Amino acid sequence: MKFPDGRRFAFSILDDTDDSTLENIEPIYQLLLKCGMRTTKTVWPVDCPEGSRLFFAADTLQRGPYLKFVKELVSQGFELAFHGATMESSRRERTVEALEFMRAQFGVYPRLYCNHGQNRENLYWGHKRIQTFILRWLSALHQREPLDHFCGEREGSEYFWGDLCQKHFAYVRNFTFDKVNLEQVRDALLYTLPDTPYVNFWFSTADAQDVDAFVDLMRVNVIDELEQQGGICIISTHLGKGFVQDGQVEPSVRSIIEYLGGKAGWFVPVSVILDHVRAQLGGGRMLTSCQRIALECRFLADKLVSAPPWFSR
């Protein structure tokens, strides 16, 4: 695949907001900006008054200084994405409130959405992430949640918002893999499925849950291979999980970002890369049954060896 301005490969970060606060992510975004990188940050627009056992410490856009910081990121060319209305399950009315808040504050709706953890409004999530019957049955055995837990695409559910996703969002993240160059995972990067009509395009990413996983994945030789192969890397991670320590970017992370920034890469937000891929594919690709089964098998091979719930991202 060719990239603009003679760039040799494409790289972006998709930052899940789970543990993000102004204090623990501002330095890493300053470094990305300094190194000429523009990436994608998910947010939670509204608060969670019922509380959250796992995600209570994260900022939402209701915190004034955090909102101001995110607006500055957008003005500098970073992309804003949707991680659900807030950190726990949201009924339709709260999802609508969150989307309208984003439109009011930023002038547009976001174009990219990522399901979050065990939120019930997640679309085609849990065992429904897998379309092949036998593989879906195996994945259902492996997960902890009831089979009807995730219902964002189910009309009549109080958590339904599939029509809004279809209307506003071009791209929804699905599978994550252990490969840095996503072109090495056949048919994974960007595709559509006939049985998921509320999602316009699915896309895949590499996966690094926290700073240790990111450092382990983004080794110098792997970055060099990505450049040599002219590949595409979109890496999902949580920049709030250890990337900044005592107000400073962790040294190994700084070294990786600076090394990447010194290369002839195309460092743009995720949706920009996906738009480019979509244009080169002539509008996108509907997977055949064989292609879908192969992709699902590859995903399960990566994920079933990990502790459940494997579907959290």
166-179: pLDDT as tens digits: 999 999 999 999 99
Q: Cα angle at 67 between 202 and 258, to 5 degrees? A: 65
**What's the angle, vertex CA 276, arms to CA 275 and CA 278, rounded to 5?**
65
pLDDT at 136: 77
129-133, 151-155, 209-213, 241-245: least confidently modelled range: 129-133
Say what the pTM is.
0.94
Cα 179 to Cα 184: distance, rounded to the nearest angstrom: 7
Tokens 């970017």, residue located? 249
Which sequence spans correspond to the domains of the chain?
4-312
- Rounded Cα distance, 166 and 173, in Å: 14
Give bridge partners of residue 176 from the DSSP assignment: 205
Q: In the predicted model, is pLDDT for residue 214 greater than 70?
A: yes
**What tokens appear for 160 in the block?**
């339904």
Count CA atoms closer than 13 A to 244's CA, side-chain side: 20
Q: What is the pLDDT of residue 135?
A: 82
- In the CATH hierarchy, which top-level class contains the domain 4-312? alpha beta
Cβ contact 112:271 at 8 Å: yes
Average pLDDT, the chain: 93
pLDDT of 66 reads: 98
Tallying the residues shown for the chain, one arrives at: 313
